[in-house]
Every structure is written in structure tokens, then in C-alpha cells.
Amino acid sequence: MAGSALKRLMAEYRQLTLNPPEGIIAGPVSEENFFEWECLITGPDDTCFGNGVFPAKIAFPTDYPLSPPKMQFLCELFHPNIYPDGRVCISILHTPGDDPTGYESSAERWSPVQSVEKILLSVVSMLAEPNDESAANVNAAKMWREDRKQFEQIADRLVRKTLGLPLTATS
């Protein structure tokens, strides 16, 4: 099973290098380990995450693409769909099939037709448009709904931190 997963990951990596999505760099940590990738994601323009550069890792199971990978940001991010430890909570990364809570349809969840590129583009979209109804970080979701200005100030401070910029007096 790991052999077919490796072939698939190599093909997806080749595709990403030939036609990289704007604002995303991703690839295996090493040639010896195609099951762990590192990536840099640029925050979407015209959002409070714009201009930020966010490092993350993706860990692929040996039965990929039958099972979804796990993704985790390696920097501090305050976002409704990112756990405080950086793990990403997004439908496309949830186990295939019916959602036991009934919140997501099976079409929204992982499917072997998904790809690394689709995952990364979905995460960029999630940064721009959080789903505060299905929060991994309840405090961020509550602030997103109730005090957008404060949420954006926290996001701006963390964006500046990822870039190594000094924090402003309002951050």
C-alpha cells in the first residue's frame, strides 16, 4: 500500500513544482521521506492574514489517498478553524464517509480524488473565510463573530510575528 501512496505523492509533488499555486510552496521534507511535507502558505490578500507567511507540515498516512493527511501550522495562528496547537480542522481533511455528528455531508469530507494542491487551496480559502459554526478554537470563533476588530488586531500581530517585524503599539 505504501508503494502506491509513494507513487501518488511523487506525482502530486511533480505537478506542484510544474504548476505551483500562487502563494504556496510545498514539498517533502526529504527525498527519503515523501510522507512528511513542509509548506509555506502566504495569507490571502485583503484579509487580516494578508502578507503573512505561515509554515506548516503535512503528514500523509501510508494508505494515502484512501485516508486523509493531517496538517498542522508550525507558527501561532489565531483562527476559528485552527486548534491552539496548530492542527487544521477543515472538512476536506476529515475521514471519508458520513459525519457522526451530522454536520458535514460526505461530499465535503476527504475523498481519494482530493490532492495536496486542493488541500492547500482549501486552507487558504479557510484563512480568508473561517467557518465559525464548526470551531476548533472556540475563543477565536467567538471573537470573529462578536469583536472583529479585536480579532483582526490579534491576527495582525501574529502576521507581523511570522515576518519577524516589530509589533506596533496597537498590536
Read off the pLDDT of residues 58-103 as tens digits, 9 standing for 90 and up. Answer: 999 999 999 999 999 999 999 999 999 999 999 899 887 766 666 7
Q: Which of 39, 48, 75, 89 is catalytic?
A: 89
Cell 481519494 belongs to residue: 112
Inform me whether the pLDDT recorded for 154 exceeds 70.
Answer: yes
State if pTM tops 0.85. yes
pLDDT at residue 97 in the model: 75
In percent, how much of the chain has pLDDT > 70? 93
Q: How confident is the model at residue 1 (pLDDT cuts 50, 70, 90)?
A: low
Residue 48 designated active-site: no
Task: Please give the grid coordinates belonging to residue 122.
Answer: 482549501
Pairing of strands 33-42, 24-30: antiparallel
pLDDT tens sequence across 96-150: 776 666 676 777 889 999 999 999 999 999 999 999 888 899 999 999 999 999 9
Residue 44: partners with Cβ closer than 8 Å, 6 or more residues away: 23, 50, 124, 125, 127, 128
pLDDT at residue 83 in the model: 96
For the chain, the straight-line distance linking the first and the last C-alpha, in angstroms and rounded, comes to: 49
pLDDT at residue 3 in the model: 87
pLDDT tens sequence across 17-67: 999 999 999 999 998 999 999 999 999 999 999 989 999 999 999 999 999
Alpha-carbon gap, residue 79 to 19, rounded angstroms? 29
Q: Which of 71, 63, 49, 74 lies closest to 125 in space, CA to CA? A: 49
> Could you check whether the bond before residue 28 is cis, i.e. omega within 30 degrees of 0?
no
pLDDT at residue 171 in the model: 47
